[in-house]
């Protein structure tokens, strides 16, 4: 009897890697050239890195485009020793791919994602949907839920947002984010910037700065369908502002985003 994907246990290697098979059809391209076309990918989590990457059976990778790396970054990717440069139409991408140092994954090749590290494959697809930055974690949920909670946001003692109609975004491993309609935000205190970031769960975010903190608030002009309720709403870094919900001041959480919001120059 076959095992349902949801019943499969995550495997652990002696090197500390976690991995599990994925049922998704995954393709990766460099420019217009398809380098990966896999119906048997595996998701791999490296120690200390909260997001997964894909690794692919060799037979589902264009190995003819790979060359032994001229200057392999030995010791990265959990002690990997086998790295490859990618040669596409005479354009060489250094250390674009590697093999994890685990017997379970010896016949698999992983690739860097350009939009995450600045090198590697440009475009990635799960089925017919393009994905960005890194693979989506099947053990993570992202839910955007309209609410009638009373949310007040302050920066340096000044109220910059006050609403009874937020959308609460619950994302596994992160604090609740409060997305607020523009009409309930003091936009005169916030200046748009050129900064943007990508998220595989939500889309591409645009940012605004306050007078004291750069890129402290963001919005998604064109969010992915799963979180369409946050379209054009504004969210603030809980880590760097004061948020009061239904009269209760929230503690500033400590997350990977803590103290990453610089002051404007």
What confidence score (pLDDT) does residue 2 get? 45
What confidence score (pLDDT) does residue 255 get? 83
Number of CB atoms found within 10 A of residue 2's CB:
5
For residue 5, is pLDDT > 50? no
For residue 49, is pLDDT > 90? no
Indicate the helix (H) or strand (E) that contains 68.
strand 66-68
For residue 115, is pLDDT > 90? no
Q: Report d(CA 83, CA 71) in Å as an integer.
A: 9
For residue 168, is pLDDT > 90? yes
CA Rg value for the chain: 21
Number of CB atoms found within 10 A of residue 70's CB:
10
Confidence of residue 118 (pLDDT cuts 50, 70, 90): confident
How large is the average pLDDT for residues 146-172? 97
What confidence score (pLDDT) does residue 261 get? 57
For 173-183, write each residue's pLDDT tens digit: 899 999 999 99
What confidence score (pLDDT) does residue 50 get? 84
Q: Report d(CA 43, CA 89) in Å as an integer.
A: 29
Number of CB atoms found within 10 A of residue 84's CB:
22
For residue 153, is pLDDT > 60? yes
Q: Report d(CA 52, CA 45) in Å as an integer.
A: 5
Beta-strand ranges (E) seen in 100-190 are 108-111, 123-126, 129-131, 142-146, 151-155, 158-163, 167-171, 177-179
pTM for the whole structure: 0.80
How large is the average pLDDT for residues 4-25? 82
For 62-105, write each residue's pLDDT tens digit: 999 999 999 999 889 999 999 999 999 989 999 999 999 999 99
Helices assigned H by DSSP within the chain: 76-79, 114-117
Q: Report d(CA 256, CA 106) in Å as an integer.
A: 31
What confidence score (pLDDT) does residue 10 get? 85
8 A C-beta contact, residue 238 and residue 254: no
Number of CB atoms found within 10 A of residue 173's CB:
11
């Amino acid at each position: 009897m076959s095992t349902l994907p949801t019943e499969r246990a995550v495997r652990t290697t002696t090197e500390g890697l976690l991995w599990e098979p994925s049922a998704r059809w995954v393709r990766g391209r460099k420019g217009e050239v398809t380098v990966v076309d896999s119906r048997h990918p595996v998701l791999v989590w490296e120690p200390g890195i909260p997001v997964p990457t894909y690794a692919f059976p060799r037979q589902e990778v264009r190995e003819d485009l790979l060359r032994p790396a001229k200057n392999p970054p030995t010791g990265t990717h959990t002690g990997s020793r086998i790295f490859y440069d990618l040669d596409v139409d005479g354009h060489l991408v250094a250390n674009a791919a590697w093999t994890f140092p685990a017997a379970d994954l010896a016949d698999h090749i992983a690739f860097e994602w350009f939009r995450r590290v600045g090198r590697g494959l440009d475009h990635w697809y799960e089925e017919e949907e393009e994905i960005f930055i890194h693979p989506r974690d099947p053990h993570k949920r992202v839910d955007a839920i309209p609410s009638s909670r009373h949310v007040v946001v302050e920066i340096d003692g000044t109220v910059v947002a006050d609403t009874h109609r937020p959308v609460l975004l619950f994302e596994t491993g992160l604090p609740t984010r409060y997305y607020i309609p523009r009409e309930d935000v003091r936009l005169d205190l916030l200046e748009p910037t050129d900064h943007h970031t990508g998220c595989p769960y939500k889309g591409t975010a645009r940012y605004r700065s306050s007078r004291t903190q750069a890129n402290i608030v963001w919005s998604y002009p064109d969010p992915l369908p799963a979180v369409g309720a946050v379209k054009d709403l504004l969210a603030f870094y809980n880590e760097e502002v004061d948020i009061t919900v239904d009269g209760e001041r929230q503690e500033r959480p400590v997350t990977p985003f803590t103290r990453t919001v610089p002051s404007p120059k």
